[in-house]
Amino acid sequence: MPAERMTPQLLWRLPRVGNPIPDREGGRFVVPVTTYDIEKNEGLTRLWLGGDDTLRPLTSVVSATSPAWHPDGESLVFLRKSPADKEALGAEKSQLWLMPLAGGEPRKLTDMPLGVADPKWLPDGKRVAFLSPLYSGHWTVDATAAEAKRRKDSKVKARTSENRFYRFWDRWISEDPFQHIFVLDVDSGQTTDLTPELQRLFPLMDVSGSWDISPDGREIAFTAERNNPPYHELTAGVFTLPITGGTPKLISEWTTSNASRPRYSPDGKWLVHGAQVELGFYADKTRLIAYERASEKHLVLTEPWDHSAEGWEFAGADKLALIAEDKGVNAIYTLDFTRAVNSPGEVEPEQVARGGWYTGLAISGETIFTTRQHHRNPPEVYSLKLDGSGEQRRSEFTKPLMDGVRLAEPEEHYFEGADGDRVQMWLLYPPGLEHRNLPLVHLIHGGPHGAFGDQWHWRWCAQSFAAEGYLVAMVNFHGSTGWGNEFARCIMAEWGKKPYEDISAATDYLVEKSLADPGRMACAGGSYGGYMTCWIATQTDRYKCLVNHAGVSDLQAQYARDVTPGREKALGGEPWGDQAGLDRYNPIRHSKGYKTPMLVIHGEQDFRVPYTQALETYNAYHAQKLDARLVVYPDENHWILKPQNSLHWYGEVFSWLKRWL
């Protein structure tokens, strides 16, 4: 029986494994796993309990997420969506549930009108803290419930704002509720708002992991916007708050950019958080900062280290574990915390594991729990020791389907790019074909400050492109992260220069090595990758077709996006200021050069790159009587997330490539 290809249909049949959460002893872990019903066009997330090479489901017929172990390991709380909320409010909201692990039915603990997020047990095991939003001016649970019902029933749906920052990603936030921190006494059911009347924006993409509780249970630290309306600047700060309530205290006021992810040391003496220094450059490396609670002194621990820290956790009182990108892969590092605070800036993190892509570190004793993925493997649960030894795969949710799939072989290549610099590229060869004169598809990553890692990708699955018979090239051009701060920063105000030169040099490299057929080449990308596709269309006709998903095509019109502070630094000017700077690498200003047939795709709910950018590109093509096709999804945002829409998206993209290549 022939091996199965990695089709988009198979992609949606694969379980999607989330981050594991171990118990205190590290003998067990709970992991959320999402599966999709294509016919119903929806996903279901179940919690699984793992340990001793066994896995069993804890939940079944309802979506369950965000597990948190009780300190005694005998039960856990988790979030479960309530259909009753969908009937009352028009949307399902997650509520907090308690599950005994020895047997018995889970018990619902909350009925918050706008749902619950990111629960954490207090050390006493009697109380649970969580996040839940309240509407401004409606500062009680009952008042917010009444306001939610009024808004649902009102025939007036107008939105108003006087803020510079008023919408985000795919929703308006000008009249959104504000997250508050609540504490629930599990036995009595009494819920206390620790932050009454707090009006600060918490992380809008994902609040999970943005706050922490001190080991003695007396203080909470959290990440929130430090600026007040109208938000002419957006700068996240770290705040602390007594568990008894009061006014939050900003402890990161000394930083010149964002601070994030506070974590208390096990002895409670220190609070470690991340900090950036260059406002307006979102990919500025994240340094680790140690804040001594008694003296209120800040120590910058990793300034000379040219990596960007993420996902850090304490591993005992003397060590931190963290993740950082490293030249096209993710790596796990440990930092000797005691030495680092005694000699700030002189002790660098030590790399203990590298390769593939690690996400979501959780530490239990001497063991790290994480997920790991590769070009050839979707995410699964792994564990390893703090010194990097003893790495084990702890789950095989995707194995039954993946065992029968014929996959592309990835290779890592370096070539000479812009300014003579060595630039890295991943290549995936189509299974079963000779590695010569293949039709080439460049996948161009977004950001621009991101990277193609040795990782699985659900929305732009390189294996699915290779399965169609294409040589897939993924260039980590100048501006990509993982090669140092300056490599990422060097394209500011020059989006169209070095990345374009790198992709052109990569194409030359592949043609010269007879890997790519010069008569059958294409480029495809989303977001900044869509921008680069548009820019390529203005500069050359060497490619036979282009795919532009959610791409920026007009730098001036892009001022309609959700976040405008800092755009002049990235794009080269303001509409009322340096227009020549804005127009230098503005595709629409150079659209007379359009020749190559382009597929233009966008979601109408996209506020990051408003979908009128797609219409502008498509109209410019047809006004010049050029070949172009438009696909717009009314119910999607910057990403195509619904199963049936995703299958349609892959169908459109593959049909376009086949038509021209």
pLDDT of residue 579: 84
CATH class entry, domain 408-660: alpha beta
Domain edges within the chain: 408-660
pLDDT of residue 83: 63
Which mean pLDDT values do the consecutive 10-residue runs of the chain (661 residues) have?
Answer: 82 97 95 97 96 89 93 96 59 91 91 97 97 96 96 94 95 93 97 96 95 98 96 96 94 94 98 96 96 97 97 95 97 97 96 96 96 97 97 96 94 98 97 93 97 96 98 98 97 96 98 98 98 98 98 95 89 85 94 97 98 98 98 98 98 98 96
Q: How many CB atoms lie within 10 A of CB 315?
A: 22
Q: What is the per-residue pLDDT across 10-25, written as a single tens digit (0 to 9) for each?
A: 999 999 999 999 999 9
pLDDT of residue 568: 85
Q: Whole-angstrom Cα distance, residue 75 to residue 646?
A: 38
Q: What is the per-residue pLDDT across 329-338, written as a single tens digit (0 to 9) for each?
A: 999 999 999 9
Provide the β-strand partners of residue 628. Answer: 598
Q: Whole-angstrom Cα distance, residue 128 to residue 96?
A: 10
Q: What is the mean pLDDT of the chain?
A: 95
Say if residues 548 and 571 touch (Cβ distance below 8 Å).
no
Number of H helices, E strands in the chain: 13, 39
Model pTM? 0.95
pLDDT of residue 569: 87
pLDDT of residue 2: 47
pLDDT of residue 54: 87
Long-range contact pairs involving 366-369 (C-beta distance under 8 Å, separation at least 24): 366/26, 366/315, 367/22, 367/26, 368/315, 368/321, 368/332, 369/20, 369/21, 369/22, 369/26, 369/29, 369/394
pLDDT of residue 261: 98
pLDDT of residue 60: 85
pLDDT of residue 245: 87
pLDDT of residue 1: 40
Q: Whole-angstrom Cα distance, residue 460 to residue 657?
A: 14
SS3 sequence of 186-251: CCCCCEEECCCCCCCCCCCCCCCCCEEECCCCCEEEEEEECCCCCCCCCCEEEEEEECCCCCCEEC
Say if residues 357 and 371 touch (Cβ distance below 8 Å).
no
Amino acid found at 366: E
pLDDT of residue 566: 83
